Structure 1
Amino acid sequence: MNAHIRRESESESAGPVLVTRRTRFSVLIGDLVVSLPSVVLSGWLIWGLSALVGDWLVVVAALVWPVSGACVLLVSVLITGATAQASRSASPEHAEVVAAWAAVAAVARIDESRYTPWVHDVATVNGEMHGYATLGRHIVVTRRAVDVFTRGELRAVLAHELGHQLLGYMWLRMLIKWYRGPADLLFALAVGVVSKVASLLQVGPRWIAHRLYRGPRPVILLGVLVVAIVPTAAVLGSGWALLAVSTRFLGLPTALAVVVAIVAQPVARARLSQWREYGADRVAVELGYGQDLRGVLRRLQADWDAIPDEQRLLAPLFHTHPSPDSRRRAVVALDPRRHPATADDQPS
């Protein structure tokens, strides 16, 4: 724990930073590695499609595509800043969030003006999150978080989002997301085809979950293996054209490696995202909000339990967040002396 979180020199920031350079560098390398195949494929798609129109469009794409990310960053910062300003003037909860943030900044010994807190006027983000960090050093919580959480729990959420900011390179994540966009869209279309085929055949995740989820583990694994044959066939069929074109330019072994890397990316990205969540939780615990964070996670577990079984079945592989129970056990393990485990923190 202490090997990953410590102070850095005062000369580099307005206050001590709680995440080491090594951890931030690991996040940087992880983001680059897990998205590199999609970034390369996206550039290839952009220039390949441009070549179908004419050589002049290839030249335009070669000039515009590499610098388009800078424009996206600028627009994102401007939109986030405008949204934050509107929220500060319109949200009655803003003063409460500012006060909570001032307390967190004091504990972290950083200048509170380095980051801008504001309230997003929604119940949850993407149906589950109650806070997030953005470009431009903004720390955001939802209106429901202010209404539902206690004062200490609200500070724990803000401390967690501070952890995301301290993990760094949010601008790079935005750039990577933009430059891998065309390949992600292509992959989403392929997944949509697979889901549609599985739905028509009525052998999708819901079928597995309803019949096998509560059965013996060997039966579950056997059922998943059998049912996966049809979606797998659909994936192979939809990706055959891409593989054939790739083979022509790259050779069969390289093309197969590229396809496998692209297909494996969702799992790798999910694992990296989950690792970042644990890292942000670690910052909140180091700031002394471990017990309050456990309270937040207990509340989130109720929402998690309401997710249909078929979605929770594959959540450990593809979900961007670990389950609240897993995070809560990790919080207890980080500081068992200061926050002794209770019955509800034990593995189920």
Structure 2
Amino acid sequence: PPPSPLHPHHIDTARGRVHVSSRQRHTDATAFGNLLLHLPNFLCSLIVVALVSLVLGDVGLLVILVWLASGALVFHRPTESALARHLLRLRYPTPQERATLEPVWREVTARAGVEGRAYELWVEDSDSLNAVAAAGHIVGVTSFALNRLPNGELAAVMAHELGHHVGGHAWSGLLGHWYALPGRIAWRLLRAVTGILFHVSRAFSCLGVAFFGLCVGGIAFATISTLYGLPLLLLGMPYALAAVGRRSELRADRHAAALGFAPMLAAVLEKLHQQEQEQEQARLAAAGQGGGEPPKEKAASRLLSSHPDYHTRLHHLQEYLQPAR
């Protein structure tokens, strides 16, 4: 059942005139860092697209220009709707859901001085506590968050996602991912072809494997030395991008807390932490490993995580949770 209006985290969403700031968005250091870190991936993709364009002859240059201009689709509303529906598995709210969402969203955007009508609200049918900010205008929440959270906690979730938008995290992340896509597809094809060639070489015993290893190693060394070792940077990109992702989550938390939603956000983080623990226990039980202590997360997994852990996020909220003197 939905929480009672008497819940301590229920907020009054009745508001008259609101002040809308002249500055609606900006690109903060996290968004800029995300774009900068995607630059090697972009250059790899540009090389791949250029190689493909050579095969196409006269229209090759047009292909490159169209690909470079395609990043503008991040802010194209019909493309965003297709992204929300088919990639993020979101849907438009029902009239009843909209009646719940819109007053909360108006309160959040009023506190932030943001024009709320510039964004589209979406819902994901899910039993998990989650939300998403994507592209230029998408704000989505799960049906669990919509139906099970008091409206103050729902506001905290939406304020967090708004923080991703006003800081430029949502569009910069999607733009970086889009321009890295040709390079990633080429890398996967290369891995598949290399795997096939490796299995073929095994048919010729150890000598075939050694010859295959020498060929691949020689090509890799020539590529790295020719490009002054720049391809080696790609090995560290996932870790750097994950670190930037964690920083963007903390910035979005700070945005929600600065709007007055710190206690509500802390409660949401506690619920999210409990839900994650329950899911981990269920997974261990299904694997026949229930009853013991859950295994500690490996250091590499923590470094590749795009979200900070619960205790880190709560620690960064402490300055907003302490009563004013």
TM-score by length of 2: 0.70
2:12 paired residue number: none
The structural deviation recorded for 1:184 is 2.6
Aligned match for 2:70, one of 68, 71, 80: 68
Local SS of the residue matching 1:177: helix
1:298 paired residue number: 270
Aligned match for 2:102, one of 98, 111, 118: 98
Aligned match for 1:48, one of 47, 51, 60: 51
Instruction: Give the Cα–Cα distance (whole angstroms) in 1 for the partners of residues 297 and 190 of structure 2.
Output: 22
Local SS of the residue matching 1:335: helix
Aligned match for 2:223, one of 246, 259, 265: 246
Query: Percent identical across equivalent pairs?
Result: 24
The structural deviation recorded for 1:167 is 0.4
Q: Does the 8 Å contact 1:80/1:136 carry over to 2?
A: no
The structural deviation recorded for 1:31 is 1.8
2:20 paired residue number: 14
Instruction: Give the Cα–Cα distance (whole angstroms) in 2 for the partners of residues 146 and 290 of structure 1.
Output: 19
Q: What is the RMSD computed on CA atoms of the aligned residues?
A: 3.7
Question: What does 1:178-257 align with in structure 2 at a 5 Å threshold?
Answer: 178-187=178-187, 240=217, 243-244=220-221, 246-247=223-224, 252=225, 254-256=227-229
Instruction: Give the Cα–Cα distance (whole angstroms) in 2 for the partners of residues 239 and 336 of structure 1.
Output: 56
Q: Does the 8 Å contact 1:94/1:118 carry over to 2?
A: no
The structural deviation recorded for 1:243 is 2.6
Local SS of the residue matching 2:260: coil
- Seen in structure 2, the aligned counterparts of structure 1 residues 149 and 240 have a Cα distance that, compared at 3 Å, is farther
2:157 paired residue number: 157
- Seen in structure 2, the aligned counterparts of structure 1 residues 85 and 146 have a Cα distance that, compared at 3 Å, is closer
The structural deviation recorded for 1:283 is 0.7
The structural deviation recorded for 1:288 is 1.1
Q: Does the 8 Å contact 1:120/1:143 carry over to 2?
A: yes
Instruction: Give the Cα–Cα distance (whole angstroms) in 1 for the partners of residues 314 and 274 of structure 2.
Output: 13
Aligned match for 2:301, one of 304, 315, 318: 315
Q: Does the 8 Å contact 2:105/2:158 carry over to 1?
A: yes
AA aligned to 1:62 is I
- Seen in structure 2, the aligned counterparts of structure 1 residues 286 and 72 have a Cα distance that, compared at 3 Å, is closer
1:271 paired residue number: 243
Instruction: Give the Cα–Cα distance (whole angstroms) in 2 for the partners of residues 339 and 312 of structure 1.
Output: 36
Q: Does the 8 Å contact 1:190/1:238 carry over to 2?
A: no
1:230 paired residue number: none
- Seen in structure 2, the aligned counterparts of structure 1 residues 72 and 159 have a Cα distance that, compared at 3 Å, is closer
AA aligned to 1:264 is G
1:131 paired residue number: 131
The structural deviation recorded for 1:285 is 0.8
2:148 matches 1:148: yes
Instruction: Give the Cα–Cα distance (whole angstroms) in 1 for the partners of residues 215 and 167 of structure 2.
Output: 37
1:337 paired residue number: 322
- Seen in structure 2, the aligned counterparts of structure 1 residues 151 and 178 have a Cα distance that, compared at 3 Å, is same
Instruction: Give the Cα–Cα distance (whole angstroms) in 1 for the partners of residues 40 and 308 of structure 2.
Output: 25
AA aligned to 2:271 is R
1:212 paired residue number: none
- Seen in structure 2, the aligned counterparts of structure 1 residues 120 and 190 have a Cα distance that, compared at 3 Å, is same
Instruction: Give the Cα–Cα distance (whole angstroms) in 2 for the partners of residues 110 and 292 of structure 1.
Output: 20
Instruction: Give the Cα–Cα distance (whole angstroms) in 1 for the partners of residues 310 and 275 of structure 2.
Output: 9
Q: Does the 8 Å contact 1:301/1:325 carry over to 2?
A: no
Instruction: Give the Cα–Cα distance (whole angstroms) in 2 for the partners of residues 143 and 96 of structure 1.
Output: 11
1:328 paired residue number: 314
- Seen in structure 2, the aligned counterparts of structure 1 residues 174 and 41 have a Cα distance that, compared at 3 Å, is same
The structural deviation recorded for 1:174 is 2.6
Q: Does the 8 Å contact 1:17/1:166 carry over to 2?
A: no
Instruction: Give the Cα–Cα distance (whole angstroms) in 1 for the partners of residues 143 and 324 of structure 2.
Output: 28
Moved more, 171-180 or 276-285: 171-180
- Seen in structure 2, the aligned counterparts of structure 1 residues 60 and 330 have a Cα distance that, compared at 3 Å, is same
- Which ranges of structure 1 fall in alignment gaps of 5 or more residues? 1-12, 195-235, 341-348
Local SS of the residue matching 2:307: coil
1:345 paired residue number: none
1:217 paired residue number: none
Local SS of the residue matching 1:312: coil
The structural deviation recorded for 1:259 is 1.8
Instruction: Give the Cα–Cα distance (whole angstroms) in 1 for the partners of residues 134 and 295 of structure 2.
Output: 31
Instruction: Give the Cα–Cα distance (whole angstroms) in 2 for the partners of residues 241 and 99 of structure 1.
Output: 62
